[in-house]
Chains A and B, each alone.
Chain A
Amino acid sequence: MPTQRSQFTVFSRLLHWTMAAMILSMLCIGAAMVASLANYHVLISIHRPLGISILVLVVVRLVNRLLNPPPSFPATMSRAERLAATASEFTMYSLMFILPLIGWGMLSAARYPIILTRSLHLPFILPHDVTLYAALRKMHTILAYLFFLTFVAHFVAILYHALIVRDGILKRMAPWSIRLKNTVVDQNSVNK
């Protein structure tokens, strides 16, 4: 391969930004609904199907991630930074799976119906057990905060690279395609 892709594939970028919007909305809706009397019902009516949509999309995304490995890290990233970036990616993928699953599981344990449409109801995936519900409900909140903190770390790291280091890292995930002139890549740069 003479040149290496310097951007994520179009589909990867589409998934990234769509899910970023969904997840950030989800975190804000989650925080807002537990604090609201007047909007609780409207917000929870969005929260449940949105959570299930995220669960479906993360499956697609994981498959896509395995089929299309990301472009390699820029040279400006230290070993520690690369480790941190990989760890945060792993954490976010895990949370994208675990948070909706815990949500589904806790609703099952409490026997709250999970109605998507009239003919599409999700089955209960756990037995009716309120102690289990209480534990999962607590975990749902804790992991949601963890997700927000991981997002903040990701956001700050990207901004630091974009504003201070200026290594063009944001271009890898830019929603638009960037044609880089004379992109020369060392033969060895391809992930092996």
Chain B
Amino acid sequence: MTTDFKLSAESEPPRLGKLSKLARFGLLGAALTVAAGTFAYFGGWFIRDDLTPARFVDGFEQVNGVHAGFRRNHAKGMGVFGFFDSNGNGVRLSQAVIFQPGRVQVIGRFSLGGGHPDVSDKPDAVRGLALQFSLPNGELWRTAMINFPVFPFRTPEAFYEQLIASKPDPNTGKHDPGKMEEFLASHPETVQALTVIKGQPSSSGFDNSTFHSSNAFRFINSAGDSIPVRWIMTPMQPFESANNASIPQDKNYLFNALIAQIHRQPLRWRLIIVIGQPGDPTNDATIPWPAEREQVVVGTLTLDRVESDDTSAATDLNFDPLVLPVGIAPSDDPLLSARSAVYSQSFTRRAGETKQPSAIRPSDVRKGE
């Protein structure tokens, strides 16, 4: 048993007066308020209309509806597998293990932009290619690319504004063109970016699409030199122009064509690193870098297997563009941290839901095997 020790030097403290007691309780209350308030402040409880990851994803859900288990953007997609052969040319640019000569395994996903998992394939829809490279030392590199040469929005706030402006009217089911005009009027950088995007001829399929990193990153080599870069995956399949005049009846024609092509032969892309020069914007994804910038081919991506989103392990991955190996670092582009945050929020929401079957079913993928 324990009895208690008493500090004989400090016998009973003198009784507190009423006022003193009140003041001491006040002090206690103030300390408690400061502690709770600090926590609430960091949690953003005092800034109700700030754009948070949750509010961003709410925006996608307001525009597209909630499709349980699906990504809140790039909802329609299909898994792919393959490998990347590095030629060693990237070693001088980045110490990332992936650039040492050799082969690494790749899992990825082709997708269409937008939050509808059953959307019909269209030639002008945003095409996405997300990849995960598994490096031999256990590191992972994830990149989520699209077929636009520049990104239409400079900031996450602009992206969100445009998203909300595209929200369909509940009565007509169509978006209000006036709201979009209003958005474009206040975002000249988006107008300029769209001019660049429309100036690029659209290809016929996923196989002959060029995919871009969208954001700038930094490469750090073993000497510690840090350079700004963007990257491109350029198809080795010949370019064929998209036929905008007659869109095929098949609502999955882009995916079905890709399945048939991969069953015929593996598809290949060259990974090209574009090296930025001082003055090239790294914090503005809407602006293209000059065409004459040095380009280094660092290897070849081969994709030789497809799998439905219903069964592919890629479905359960978050292609967070900031999952980077040592040797690749984020730039000062504000979109990067925002993408990481919003992807994570979308991933967490869908992870807790029961997923409905995807548009591209396992039986579609087996056709022509």
Q: A and B, one complex? A: yes
Q: Please list the residues of chain A having a beta carbon within 8 angstroms of any beta carbon in chain B.
A: 4, 6, 27-29, 31-42, 44, 72-75, 110-113, 115, 118-119, 121, 128-131, 133-135, 137-138, 148, 151-152, 155-156, 159-160, 163-164, 166-168, 180-186, 188-189, 191-192
Residue of A at shortest CB range from B327? A118
What residues on A are CB-neighbors of B330 within 8 Å?
41
- B354: min CB distance to chain A, Å: 9
Q: A28-B39, A41-B336 are in contact. Are A168 and B7 (CB under 8 A)?
A: yes
What residues on A are CB-neighbors of B31 within 8 Å?
155, 159
Partner of A189, one of B4, B32, B42: B4
Given known contacts A31-B39, A113-B138, what 15 new A-B pairs fall within 8 Å (CB)? A35-B44, A36-B53, A37-B156, A37-B334, A38-B337, A40-B341, A128-B313, A130-B316, A148-B39, A152-B35, A163-B24, A163-B28, A181-B9, A188-B3, A189-B2
Verify A37–B56 contact, CB threshold 8 A. Answer: yes
Verify B27–A163 contact, CB threshold 8 A. Answer: yes
Indicate if B326 sits at the interface (CB-CB under 8 A): yes
Verify B156–A134 contact, CB threshold 8 A. Answer: no
What residues on B are CB-neighbors of A34 within 8 Å?
43, 52-54
Q: Mark B270-301, 1 if CB is under 8 A from A, else 0.
A: 00000000000000000000000000000000
- B3: min CB distance to chain A, Å: 5
Indicate if B36 sits at the interface (CB-CB under 8 A): yes
Q: A6-B5, A28-B38, A41-B340 are in contact. Are A152 and B352 (CB under 8 A)?
A: no
CA distance A75 to B12 in the complex (A): 11
Verify B337–A32 contact, CB threshold 8 A. Answer: no
Q: A111-B317, A160-B28, A188-B1 are in contact. Are A35 and B7 (CB under 8 A)?
A: no
- A7: min CB distance to chain B, Å: 12
Q: What total of chain B residues lie within 8 Å of the partner, measured CB to CB?
A: 59
CA distance A80 to B316 in the complex (A): 49
What residues on A are CB-neighbors of B350 within 8 Å?
130
Q: A130-B351, A163-B27 are in contact. Are A37 and B52 (CB under 8 A)?
A: yes
Indicate if B251 sits at the interface (CB-CB under 8 A): no
Residue of B at shortest CB range from A34? B53
**Sample of 30 A–B contacts (CB below 8 Å):** A31-B44, A32-B43, A34-B52, A35-B52, A35-B53, A35-B54, A36-B52, A36-B53, A40-B338, A40-B340, A41-B341, A73-B2, A74-B5, A110-B318, A112-B323, A113-B139, A115-B326, A118-B137, A128-B313, A130-B350, A134-B352, A137-B351, A151-B35, A155-B32, A164-B21, A164-B25, A166-B13, A184-B7, A186-B5, A189-B3
Indicate if B247 sits at the interface (CB-CB under 8 A): no
Indicate if B125 sits at the interface (CB-CB under 8 A): no
CA distance A186 to B6 in the complex (A): 8
CA distance A184 to B3 in the complex (A): 13
Verify A115–B139 contact, CB threshold 8 A. Answer: yes
Partner of B5, one of A40, A152, A159, A185: A185
What residues on B are CB-neighbors of A33 within 8 Å?
341
Partner of A138, one of B316, B318, B352: B352
